Amino acid sequence: MARISTKQLQEKLRVYFIMGSNNCQKDPFAVLTEAIEGGITLFQFREKGQGALSGKEKYDFAKELQAICRKHRIPFIVNDDVELALELDADGVHIGQEDERADLVRKKIGDKILGVSAHNLEEARRAIKQGADYLGVGPIFPTSTKEDAKEAQGVAVLRTLREHGLSIPIVGIGGITPHNTKEVIVAGADGVSVISAISLAASPRENARMLAKAVREALNKD
């Protein structure tokens, strides 16, 4: 299998839902199913923070979420845990700046999708050189979901990356909602990645639908 094309990945990144067991107040399988029904295009399993599952519990939970994704043909990305991604034959891995180096992860995962979190131009350029397929850039807006999140940077960071000629697919992350999605896309992101805007929504389905609509409209694809 060859690496995913930029065009295919840009489409997959439009509405990127990230979730772990502690991001939901309702049944996580129901939340993911609703999110898919509402129009998410990619899913990341991110089991981190207080009360995070480990060992067999984490594996079993991931496997069940992956089965839901597979049924609906939504690619399944694993945050940080390369071994789990390989065991599950996930579609890709997402790593942060504090995780294993991107070039080493690339060697382990072959042509699977590799996403890297970047907060500035230097990190973005290094990630690209080391084999990233896409970048997650943030936090764009304030977020209370990630305990150690850096200060919000606004959409200017996205504009900066594009102005310096970076053409790699990019998703914005951090505090994104249906109401501020347009700004993120107009500034240069190909899509939005969210946790709480879907995981804690009264209706995950409706919020996923609103995010998808906002991205479509901002890209003028309506």
- Footprint of ligand 3NM on this chain (CB under 6 A)? 117, 136, 138-139, 143, 145-146, 149, 173-176, 194-197
Taking the alpha carbons of 129, 130, 135, 139 in that order, is the dihedral positive or negative?
negative
Residue 89 or 98: which CB sits closer to ligand 3NM? 98
Taking the alpha carbons of 147, 171, 221, 208 in that order, is the dihedral positive or negative?
negative
- Give the HSE-up count for residue 206: Cα atoms under 13 Å, Cβ half-sphere: 4
Torsion of CA 64, 70, 72, 78, to 10 degrees: 70
By the 8 A CB rule, do 146 and 139 touch? Answer: yes
Pairing of strands 76-79, 42-45: parallel
Shortest gap between Cβ of 1 and ligand 3NM (angstroms)?
27
Shortest gap between Cβ of 143 and ligand 3NM (angstroms)?
3
Q: Which residues are catalytic?
A: 46, 117, 146
Shortest gap between Cβ of 126 and ligand 3NM (angstroms)?
15
Shortest gap between Cβ of 30 and ligand 3NM (angstroms)?
18
Give the tokens for residue 84: 């789990």
Residue 92 or 174: which CB sits closer to ligand 3NM? 174
Residue 33 or 143: which CB sits closer to ligand 3NM? 143
Residue 3 or 146: which CB sits closer to ligand 3NM? 146
